[in-house]
Structure 1
Amino acid sequence: MNDLHNLLPLAVGMLLSPLPIVAIVAIVLAPRGRACAPVYTAVYTLVAFAATGLGALGAARASASSGPAAQTVSLILAIVLGLGFTVFAIVSWMSRPKTGKPATAPKWLAAIDSVTPLSAAGLGLVMAVTNSKNIPLELKAGALIGEAHLAPLAAVGLCLAVAVVGSLLLVIPALVQLTGTARVISALQALKSQLITHNAAMMTVLFAILAANELAQVIHRLAA
């Protein structure tokens, strides 16, 4: 069964990542932001593309060699992801700031003002590789693409599309910053502050939605 329609919620889940967005906003506000923002975004997107491609390659090989057993693997993966996202939702909720106490900004944020293209690339790599939400989503998206048995070029294009869509919110602040107006700068600073403050709550909601989506897929597969 072709499940490529499930790529959209996965890409949207990848899209909504508060801390990577905080990083790009901080970068575009830095003195060398215009040079560093594209580097950060490109590296982040390339990692997403690589993870999606890895998932597609693995699923394509498993599907070709295992036949119906690949569907069982896909079902198990959905169950594991659903349980994992549920745990992450609980952990995110438990890590939220206590009432009346401000959220603690990430330590790496203090060094952003002196960011260089090289350090921006490193930050993009770290943000992408350590993203506990996006890596499973990218692998799952890749698995769906691999199981669809598409032509190689189509599969690569679809993997790239998923990675790009999942990184779109990193592109928008960089484009908006090009206007250079005081109002835009103020809005970006406010956005960064709000994302830091509400990061735990947003991640809790996102993980809960992703867990529910995986549960729905498990039920659908079992009922099919």
Structure 2
Amino acid sequence: MGPVIGDVIPLALGVAISPIPIIAAILMLLSPRARGTSVGFLVGWVVGIVVAVVVFTLLSAVLPRGDADQSKPIAGTITIVLGLLLLVLAVRQWRSRPAPGADPELPKWMAAIDTLTAGRALGLGFLLSALNPKNLLMGAAAGVAIESDADTTAESVVAVIVYTVIAASTVAVPVIAYLAASGRMARPLDALRTWLLHNNATIMAVLLLVIGVVLIGKGLGRF
């Protein structure tokens, strides 16, 4: 079980360290409907992560497995391609950094967060986790890794759980902390939101670069 868990942890961190959803969750926690929208967003975020990794794991089942000590060129090629795509995203993120002294632009949908209901927040969380291109690449790479390296169904299930818990943690922690101590969390959450807003592009560029290189290395190792 060790190899497959080791494969999915960096990919889960790639989903977890996503400033935009974290900022969205914080804005919901600072809105008038904090409890309903934040919990709905968290549920949608978790469900989207699970759906993506499970779907890609099932799709990867059509790939020939072979013996554990045999090369897996198809899985290796797919992993390398996914790594290259992450490098492309890393370059795009780096180029999207705001100019020094300029205020970074937020997605237009964030302006409507104060008007969201719990149901719409759930849908937003699902869309951001399941259909975001970066998260889809992470989910695809995790699915290939789980199907290639897990020897039993139980190992696959554990790997999916580990991936989901880590990937959802950065949205779950502020939501749970706010629900537990809302009065003391408002100022730290607002400070975190400001920092993430100004460093979003740089964080994502470095993260995607590192994970892309790791995936390319793992893909080459499958040959």
TM-score relative to the length of structure 1: 0.88
Equivalent residues in 2 for 1:76-155, closer than 5 Å: 76-155=77-156
Cα drift, residue 70 of structure 1: 8.4
> Judging changes above 3 Å, is the alpha-carbon distance between structure 1 residues 152 and 221 closer, same or farther for their aligned structure 2 residues?
closer
Distance 2:195 2:95 in 1: 19
Distance 1:154 1:100 in 2: 49
Deviation string 1:101-154 (CA, Å, 9 cap, x unpaired) is 111122111111122111101211221133222211112112222223544354
Distance 1:25 1:47 in 2: 19
Gapped runs of 5+ residues in structure 1? Answer: none
> Judging changes above 3 Å, is the alpha-carbon distance between structure 1 residues 216 and 186 closer, same or farther for their aligned structure 2 residues?
same
Cα drift, residue 95 of structure 1: 0.9
Code of the residue aligned with 2:106 in structure 1: it is: A
Code of the residue aligned with 1:73 in structure 2: it is: I
Residue of structure 2 in register with 1:200 after alignment? 201
Residue of structure 1 in register with 2:27 after alignment? 26
Residue of structure 2 in register with 1:180 after alignment? 182
Distance 1:96 1:162 in 2: 29
Which sits farther off after the overlay, 165-174 or 144-153? 144-153
Residue of structure 1 in register with 2:222 after alignment? 221
SS in 2 for 1:166: helix
Given that 1:62 and 1:70 are in contact with CA atoms closer than 8 Å, whether structure 2 keeps it comes out as no
Code of the residue aligned with 1:217 in structure 2: it is: K
Distance 1:154 1:87 in 2: 32
Distance 2:154 2:3 in 1: 19
How many residue pairs match? The answer is 219
> Judging changes above 3 Å, is the alpha-carbon distance between structure 1 residues 131 and 55 closer, same or farther for their aligned structure 2 residues?
same
> Judging changes above 3 Å, is the alpha-carbon distance between structure 1 residues 112 and 220 closer, same or farther for their aligned structure 2 residues?
same
CA RMSD of aligned residues (A): 2.2
> Judging changes above 3 Å, is the alpha-carbon distance between structure 1 residues 57 and 70 closer, same or farther for their aligned structure 2 residues?
farther
Residue 8 in structure 1 maps to residue 41 in structure 2:
no
Given that 2:29 and 2:35 are in contact with CA atoms closer than 8 Å, whether structure 1 keeps it comes out as yes
SS in 2 for 1:133: helix
Runs (4 or more) in structure 1 with deviation over 6 Å come to none
Distance 1:148 1:37 in 2: 35
> Judging changes above 3 Å, is the alpha-carbon distance between structure 1 residues 171 and 2 closer, same or farther for their aligned structure 2 residues?
closer
Code of the residue aligned with 2:113 in structure 1: it is: I
Identity of paired residues, percent? 28
SS in 2 for 1:27: helix
Given that 1:48 and 1:163 are in contact with CA atoms closer than 8 Å, whether structure 2 keeps it comes out as yes
Distance 1:205 1:219 in 2: 21
Code of the residue aligned with 2:169 in structure 1: it is: L
